[in-house]
Structure 1
Amino acid sequence: MEFHIDMPAAGSRDRFAALHRQIRAAIIDGRLAAGVRLPTTRELADRLGVSRNTVLAAYEHLATEGYLQPRQRAGTFVAGAIPPRGHAAPPSNPPGPSLAELPDAWRRVAPWSAEAMPPGPRFDFRVGLPDHSQFPWDRWRRLCGHAQHDFARAPRAYTDPAGDPLLREAIAGHVSLSRAVACSADDVFITSGAQHAFALLADVLVTPQATVVAVEDPGYAPLHAAMAFRGAQLQRVPLDKEGLRVDRLPPEARVICVTPSHQFPVGAAMSLNRRAQLLAFARQHQAVVIEDDYDGEFRYGGRPLDALHSLDDSGLVFYVGTFSKVMFPALRAGFVVAPAWARERLAAALHATQGAPPLLTQLALAAFIREGHLARHVRRMRRLYAGRRDALLQAMEQHAEGLLIPLPSAAGLHVSAMLAPQFEAYKVARTAAEAGIAVEALDRSGLRRLRYNGLTFGLGLIGDGEVTAGLRALVKLLG
């Protein structure tokens, strides 16, 4: 080869890439004609001052791409038929599609930023995050160790994509006792959190650009996104004091997404009468319902309403649960309780996509549930959160009269309150953040910001002795 090859300085990690790129370019441009014999790997390595392994790797890569043809005991030759330019490796910095070419749903997504969750605010009322300090970490570590030990004794290659049978059985028992969801292990499908569950159900239930999906307004934005990203036609449906306005559901809706136990983010529970209306609508219009029961285990006072799934006798409800609120979000474990007719579809979708969480995590979680640790932890945290909730409501009554009006809520990890009309929730939240008070605007995803001009207060991260002080600091900002 008489053409010049520029190599990066010794020690550079780009030497293989540079050699590969320049030989390929010479073949494409015709400077190395078909049939030309290349130097041996040792000869070229000595000439360029690189390791023989670098040249050998470049030759092998070019051969797999069809540019070179090794011949036993004869050497390496330029291939007789050069691949078309379209098969050449892409440039190091290929241009991406313009924003206009991306699906509309993806173009509206704001990139995640660590700034969205600033560390260490003085008063932390962020929503959806549980208190980790009371979690039985020692027991969890012990169970993780047992799972690893058991797996080492009898390792498995691939597991059921629907989830380990022990965990599916444990969850079936757990939701039956805690939420009156009657199901068997065969009905339970393990997911990597609730977000994975929503994406999985969208894959199974949504026909792109055709399926109308009704969602609560305001509602849980990540659920809305999971449906929109898969081509669903979203229809936002308003709420009233009894929950989703069934009379405002579009008749063409084929999927209806609700949070009946503790509406997110308003906080109300869907009334029994409204639940019956919703199921009647689904039967009449051949629709299915996705019930997101994200923190229904935490109920304060009175007998909790059974899950919507418990009232369904027609196989219309997909019940979605998560362990992020009752244990910790990093666990990334959730589940779907599905009607019998959908089992094969869900199993196929899980097999073709992400599948369940790692097996060792599933085995430890199954033991955590089976040995009663989860139920005890939920009871302990229910008392803790109830105390924080009572303190927050009392502080609003004593220090924020006329400024914050709490919305009715008897469950969950957050309390929402309407702001006095002279304030704007988004501005208040920004001002509070600058003062070290992490609180969120009530309506972060809906279209009725004037109607839901309020704030949402999480109970998971605010310390027991900080609730009143945090509320008073916020009131002082409101002036």
Structure 2
Amino acid sequence: MDPALAFPLALPPRGSGALLRALHGQLRAAILDGRLQPGLRLPTTRALAAAYGISRNTAVAAYDLLLGEGYLLTRPRAGVYVADVLPAAAARKPAAQAAGIDRRLAAPWRRPALRPHAAPAVPPRWHFDLGVPDTRAFPFDVWRRLAARALRAAAKRPPAYLEPQGQPALRAAIARHVAFARAVACGADDIVVTAGAQQAFDLLARILVTPGRTVVAVENPGYPPARAAFAAAGARLVPVAVDAEGLVVERLPDAARVICVTPSHQFPLGVAMSARRRAELLAFARRRGAVVIEDDYDGEFRYAGRPLDALQTLDRDAAVFYVGTFSKCLYPALRLGFVAAPTWARQALVAAKLAADWHCPGATQDTLAAFIGEGHLVRHVRRMRGVYAARREALLAGLDGELSHWLRPLPAVAGLHLAARTAPGVDADALARRARELGVGVQSLRDYRLGRGGVAGLVFGFGQIDAAAIPEGLAQLRRACRA
């Protein structure tokens, strides 16, 4: 007979006098260590007795003991369940385990640099949070039609794992799109499809970092998830200052072999790297044998002027990895991004992708390929650029008004967020906390810095907030400033 429980019970023979004690003790231990989860329905006493060759009276007695101790509860006409609230003893864990510092974990993972964001107890009323676009205007009806077509086509193909590099149709579509939108010179063979930009950083860290030796230069302030990927790979991170022209190249350490930058729209300050600095950065990489990781996360949304050439476009030494994502121009849950990689690194990058997760979901890749190929991506970006431009103007107008006593916006002509420097004497961290108490979801620039120093201020995302709601949110922020 199949066991009634998902784990074995080691019970003494019948008539030994220890059967009840053993059954009760093993069930209790399974509840305490989580093998029997709260809310789980247990087998009936008749089924338990039949499965383990014991009398039903013994099974009933064991359940009664556990009910009396609070480990089980009964529901009328529904059966016996593991209690939702366990006794205090069940919550006790060894101190090292509770603190997340178990020595069995590799060193970078004992205290991870990146943790999931905890949802606020009270969600902000005015969403100025970073990194999330407005998905309400996304053409889900078009996506649904293309997804259904992709699934019908997949059903006609024999089952097989896909190419780790990505579906050929999607790689070709991405190459055409970035050539048109960003003048990035690449072909389908240069593209490696990833599960968002974050996996791109992780794969690049795997193939470029020798643990404990490789020096990786990162912008400061900068993008914490990218830093976390390289730190987890064992890189030696060196923060490098950012000014009005972008990364200060002259402050790069000579030992830097990987340089991570966001030249189109620096994260989080928003400045664009000047043409002079771009040339200096590529010259540094050439002299030092370094590589540059160019993160172009929201460069599609540009509101003024002609965009400067991407570093990948200017590169003549096969030193630039161009990373893109569809999380900002479409929606984050899509989890698709890409790397345009130099030829010398492509095989290693594909092998790293194979080791990580083999390939991204095929139907989603096929759907996105059709979405790009039929022009829906270009139309959606063009439409949303107008929406975001109106929000940006409303935000700038508010910051240039009464808030100008406390905040000065930093120049930015692209992307889905703006940063503002706080006036001398204003505590940006305290201001951000007070604003959140009033329902205004802003962040302090300190959240993106490594170490001390740097620009003090706030950063405003406008991907989720309607233009009409921005003045009201900024009025609440003025209250926080006055406080």
TM-score relative to the length of structure 1: 0.81
Q: Is the counterpart of residue 223 in structure 1 residue 226 in structure 2?
A: yes
Aligned residues: CA RMSD: 2.8
Shift of 1:110: 6.3
- AA partner of residue 23 (structure 2): M
Q: Is the 8 A contact 1:191 1:355 kept in 2?
A: no
Worse overlay, 168-177 or 147-156: 147-156
Alignment of 1:36-185 (within 5 A): 45-47=52-54, 96=97, 99=101, 101=103, 102-109=105-112, 112=115, 115-116=118-119, 120-185=123-188
- AA partner of residue 46 (structure 1): G
Alignment of 1:270-309 (within 5 A): 270-309=273-312
Runs of 5+ in structure 2 lacking a partner? 1-11, 34-48, 58-92
- Secondary structure, counterpart of 1:443 in structure 2: helix
Shift of 1:14: 5.9
Of 469, 472, 477, the match for 2:475: 472
Q: Is the 8 A contact 2:265 2:412 kept in 1?
A: yes
Q: Is the 8 A contact 1:402 1:420 kept in 2?
A: yes
Shift of 1:7: 2.5
Partner residue, 1:202 = 205
Q: Is the counterpart of residue 391 in structure 1 residue 391 in structure 2?
A: no
Runs of 5+ in structure 1 lacking a partner? 18-41, 51-92
- AA partner of residue 421 (structure 1): P
- AA partner of residue 99 (structure 1): I
Distance 1:48 1:307, change over 3 A: farther
CA distance, structure 2, for counterparts of residue 232 and residue 140 of structure 1: 40
- Secondary structure, counterpart of 1:161 in structure 2: coil
Q: Is the counterpart of residue 7 in structure 1 residue 10 in structure 2?
A: no
Q: Is the 8 A contact 1:399 1:472 kept in 2?
A: no
CA distance, structure 2, for counterparts of residue 115 and residue 228 of structure 1: 22
Shift of 1:105: 3.6
Distance 1:478 1:252, change over 3 A: same
- Secondary structure, counterpart of 2:238 in structure 1: strand
Partner residue, 1:453 = 456
Q: Is the 8 A contact 1:265 1:443 kept in 2?
A: no
Deviations, residues 235-272 of structure 1 (Å, cap 9, x unaligned): 11111211111111111111000000000001000011
CA distance, structure 1, for counterparts of residue 120 and residue 381 of structure 2: 26
Shift of 1:451: 3.1
Deviations, residues 380-431 of structure 1 (Å, cap 9, x unaligned): 1111111111111111112212211000101000000011122211111111
Partner residue, 1:370 = 373
Q: Is the 8 A contact 1:218 1:448 kept in 2?
A: no
Of 311, 322, 328, the match for 2:325: 322
CA distance, structure 1, for counterparts of residue 26 and residue 404 of structure 2: 72
- Secondary structure, counterpart of 1:401 in structure 2: helix
- AA partner of residue 255 (structure 1): V
CA distance, structure 2, for counterparts of residue 156 and residue 247 of structure 1: 53
Deviations, residues 17-62 of structure 1 (Å, cap 9, x unaligned): 9xxxxxxxxxxxxxxxxxxxxxxxx998434669xxxxxxxxxxxx
Partner residue, 2:422 = 419
- AA partner of residue 420 (structure 2): A
Q: Is the counterpart of residue 355 in structure 1 residue 378 in structure 2?
A: no
Q: Is the 8 A contact 1:425 1:455 kept in 2?
A: yes
- AA partner of residue 249 (structure 1): L
Corresponding residue pairs, total: 414
Identity of aligned residues (%): 51
TM-score relative to the length of structure 2: 0.80
Q: Is the counterpart of residue 345 in structure 1 residue 361 in structure 2?
A: no
CA distance, structure 2, for counterparts of residue 140 and residue 438 of structure 1: 30
Partner residue, 1:312 = 315
- Secondary structure, counterpart of 1:131 in structure 2: coil
Shift of 1:104: 4.8
Q: Is the 8 A contact 1:8 1:14 kept in 2?
A: no
Of 206, 216, 229, the match for 1:213: 216
Distance 1:238 1:359, change over 3 A: same
